Amino acid sequence: MFERVRPRNLEDFEEPRMVPLGGHLFGACFFLMKLLPARFMLKRAVERGQLAPGGTICESSSGTFALALAMLSVLNGYRLLIVGDWALDRNLRRRLLQLGAELDIVEEPHPIGGFQLARLERLQEHLRRRPGSYWPAQYYNEDNPISYSKVAACFIDAVGPIDCLVGTVGSGGSMCGTARYLRMLFPDLTVIGVDTHNSVLFGQPNAPRKVSGLGGGIVPANVDHTQFDEIHWLPASEIMASAHDLHGRHGLFMGPTSGAAFRVARWWSDCNPGKTVVAIFPDEGHRYADTVYDEAWLKSSIPGWNGTRMEEPTAVSSPTVDMTSWAKYPWRRRNLSDVLGDLPPRI
């Protein structure tokens, strides 16, 4: 007799695979991490009467949150409008169109807030023209970090007590939400946020960045700075090389943000033998086959990507200093205003 196989839905793909990476280091490998907060936000919106059957969802995204919304919209019969920018690569754009999403691509950055703020302003225009549409607002919707209680529970079930959590920061949902829940059980947990140069999230001046899904030109309300003990900034060359390391050494074909988290987590784990470390790897690498994993693109777009690697980060005296290589700063669970003095506008 054959055992009946239970039908699967997208919710079955929300939990990560916990992969040992040597010593006490584990990688939390997600198929598409943004499926979890997207589904949770839509579910809560339906419960509150904010999203009606067959309704329209409008969101600003040029990354995996857009893809998660598109997949969920197809399954649940919603219409979807995505406001994106250059970071929405051709493969992702094609998938979104195949899933029935309407796309509006912003061509020019905002003079202060870059493409993120320009996208949000364009989004507001669409919301005014489409009364009754729902905006998930991943940057400040509290349901975003709340949804990661499920992830924290998965980590504890898989590896037990955790000493250090490492991950990249974008909207703030994954790192801040997961850290908040883990600290209920492990108050001494070390939380390390990974950012990139020219990102304002932790005090760098805003300028164009070469890695999508990491950093930002605005400070989202969901970035809870008081959760972080230490911040690391990585250049694009180090991020790309680390994604290749993760693939070549461990067979994990993941995106560039996973490479960034792996680089910092590997270093911290080596410096703290015996400590259990979990690094968050948000998505798989298939979307980046023509960029991150293409030698020709890397040579033309990321100077020095395969050059000399730093063995450890350089400690900096302030998050605002000019950075060209891997740097770290002791954040010590402080507010942004406590560190910088003047709080930037929050969106």
Tell me how far apart the alpha carbons of residues 172 and 18 are, in angstroms, rounded to a whole number: 22
Residues 192-217: pLDDT tens digits?
A: 999 999 999 999 998 888 887 888 88
pLDDT band at 3 (very low <50, low <70, confident <90, very high): low
Per-residue model confidence as pLDDT tens digits over 275-289? 999 999 999 999 899
333/59 Cα distance (integer angstroms): 30
| Per-residue pLDDT tens over the stretch 122-178 | 999 999 999 999 999 999 999 999 999 999 999 999 999 999 999 999 999 999 999
Model's pTM, two decimal places? 0.93
Question: Which residue, among 59, 61, 55, has the nearest Cα to 81 in the 3D structure?
Answer: 59
Check if the beta carbon of residue 239 is closer than 8 Å to that of residue 264.
no
- For residue 121, how many C-alpha atoms fall within 13 Å in the half-sphere facing its CB? 14
